[in-house]
């Protein structure tokens, strides 16, 4: 049984000014599409029916309550983002925050105007990303401008800096310019840089991270994940992302779709795990089980091992997508095209 969501991210676009090496959704400049307003309306109306008078419990993690708008970089189409906030507010949906990497934060007046418009339209909080991965393309001075302006507009309690502890570390290296990840390795050495990246950011080894950053952390044989299934992530987490193409993405499982959403209520009513063979294997047997299935079609596991079960999962899914390119469970297709 698929438990209904109680927190949701809507991916307005996969397009992003950066192509971060840790990105769970393989976002980057190559993507071109944005969600249509008509489909956005449909998703928001469907969410309203599911949630009714939803209010998050007081002990709910701030990152896992209500609805948030994400990307890619949602500020790349500000009129669309503003419309999304206004529509969600109009429907009485509980809005958590909007995410941004601050790449666009160059002019103080522009940043202040956009933040002010969002706040007056119903946005209570802003979520600003800060990490070595973002700083590889985005100078810290832009992140600092975003934070400074957000504090003025939203107030200290309504600005989420993720991860704030990296501000000082990045500032020690360079504020004015972007910083290649290799610079961190040069300064700290591979072992410590790997610890900073993986433990300091609490990286999920899905998306790109296992492929681009896996050499900086401990890896394990695929057999280590033999007993780890994905039931919680797929069926029980009650956290999902809906993307602009209509994909129901469970938890943070970029590139995995439980189906296309047309009517959200009907989606839950008609959900049938038996119709999703790859997802079913993940729920029951985990990525290791999916690997054993893929081996029947020639998949070869990495001899170097995997950082975590999510790394194994994405590696196997990449291969299956080549063998079964029309699988609707492996969507969006450009996730696999732009992953590496």
Give dist(CA 259, CA 328) in Å, integer.
Answer: 7
What is the total residue count of the chain? 340
Give per-residue pLDDT as tens, 232-257: 999 999 999 999 999 999 999 999 99
Question: What is the predicted pLDDT for the residue at 65?
Answer: 78
Q: CA of 120: how far to CAs of 88, 98, 115, 117, 322, in Å?
A: 13, 14, 9, 5, 47
Question: What is the predicted pLDDT for the residue at 284?
Answer: 99
Give per-residue pLDDT as tens, 160-188: 999 999 999 999 999 999 999 999 999 99
Closest CA to 149 of 191, 181, 104, 207: 104
What whole-number percentage of the chain has pLDDT above 70? Answer: 96
Give per-residue pLDDT as tens, 42-68: 999 999 999 876 666 665 566 667 999
Question: What is the predicted pLDDT for the residue at 151?
Answer: 99
Give per-residue pLDDT as tens, 84-140: 999 999 999 999 999 999 999 999 999 999 999 999 999 999 999 999 999 999 999
Average pLDDT of 304-319? 99
What is the set of domains in the chain, with CATH numbers?
7-216 (3.20.20)
Give per-residue pLDDT as tens, 256-298: 999 999 999 999 999 999 999 999 999 999 999 999 999 999 9
| CB-count burial class (<10 Å; 0-12, 13-18, 19+) for 329 | buried
- Cβ–Cβ < 8 Å for 314, 206: yes
Give dist(CA 97, CA 158) in Å, integer.
Answer: 9
Residue 329 pLDDT > 90: yes
Closest CA to 209 of 114, 307, 135: 307
Q: CA of 273: how far to CAs of 179, 213, 259, 276, in Å?
A: 44, 33, 10, 5
| Dihedral sign (CA 189, 191, 195, 197) | positive
- pTM of the model as a whole: 0.96
Question: What is the predicted pLDDT for the residue at 53?
Answer: 65
Give dist(CA 204, CA 195) in Å, integer.
Answer: 14
Strands 248-250 and 239-243: antiparallel
Give dist(CA 27, CA 73) in Å, integer.
Answer: 9
CB atoms within 10 A of CB 277: 13
Give per-residue pLDDT as tens, 191-236: 999 999 999 999 999 999 999 999 999 999 999 999 999 999 999 9
Alpha carbon 196 to its chain centroid, in Å, reads: 20
Question: What is the predicted pLDDT for the residue at 62?
Answer: 60
């Amino acid at each position: 049984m698929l438990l209904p969501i109680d927190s949701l991210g809507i991916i307005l676009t996969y397009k992003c000014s950066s192509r971060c090496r840790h990105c769970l959704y393989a976002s980057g400049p190559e993507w071109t599409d944005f969600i249509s307003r008509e489909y956005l309306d449909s998703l928001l109306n469907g969410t309203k029916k599911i949630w009714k008078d939803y209010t998050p419990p007081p002990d709910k993690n701030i990152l896992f309550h209500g609805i948030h708008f994400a990307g890619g970089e949602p500020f790349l189409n500000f009129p669309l983002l503003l419309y999304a906030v206004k529509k969600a507010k109009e429907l009485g949906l509980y809005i958590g925050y909007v995410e941004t990497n601050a790449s666009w934060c160059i002019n103080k007046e522009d940043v202040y105007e956009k933040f002010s418009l969002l706040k007056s339209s119903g946005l209570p909080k802003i979520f600003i990303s800060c990490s070595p991965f973002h700083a590889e393309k985005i100078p810290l001075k832009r992140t600092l401008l975003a934070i400074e302006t957000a504090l003025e507009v939203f107030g200290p309690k309504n600005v989420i800096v993720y991860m704030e502890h990296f501000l000082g570390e990045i500032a020690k290296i360079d504020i004015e310019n972007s910083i290649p990840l290799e610079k961190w390795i040069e300064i700290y050495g591979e072992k410590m840089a790997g610890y900073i990246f993986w433990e300091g950011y609490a990286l999920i080894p899905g998306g790109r991270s296992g492929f681009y950053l896996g050499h900086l952390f401990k890896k394990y044989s695929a057999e280590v994940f033999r007993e780890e299934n994905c039931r919680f992530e797929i069926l029980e987490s009650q956290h999902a992302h809906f993307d602009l193409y209509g994909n129901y993405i469970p938890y943070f499982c970029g590139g995995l779709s439980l189906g296309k959403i047309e009517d959200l209520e009907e989606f839950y009513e008609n959900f049938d795990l038996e119709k999703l063979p790859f997802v079913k294997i993940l729920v029951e047997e985990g990525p290791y089980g999916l690997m054993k299935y893929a081996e029947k079609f020639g998949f070869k596991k990495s001899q170097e091992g995997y950082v975590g079960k999510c790394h194994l999962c994405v590696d196997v899914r990449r291969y299956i997508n080549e063998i079964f390119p029309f699988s609707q469970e492996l969507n969006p297709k450009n996730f696999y095209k732009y992953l590496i």
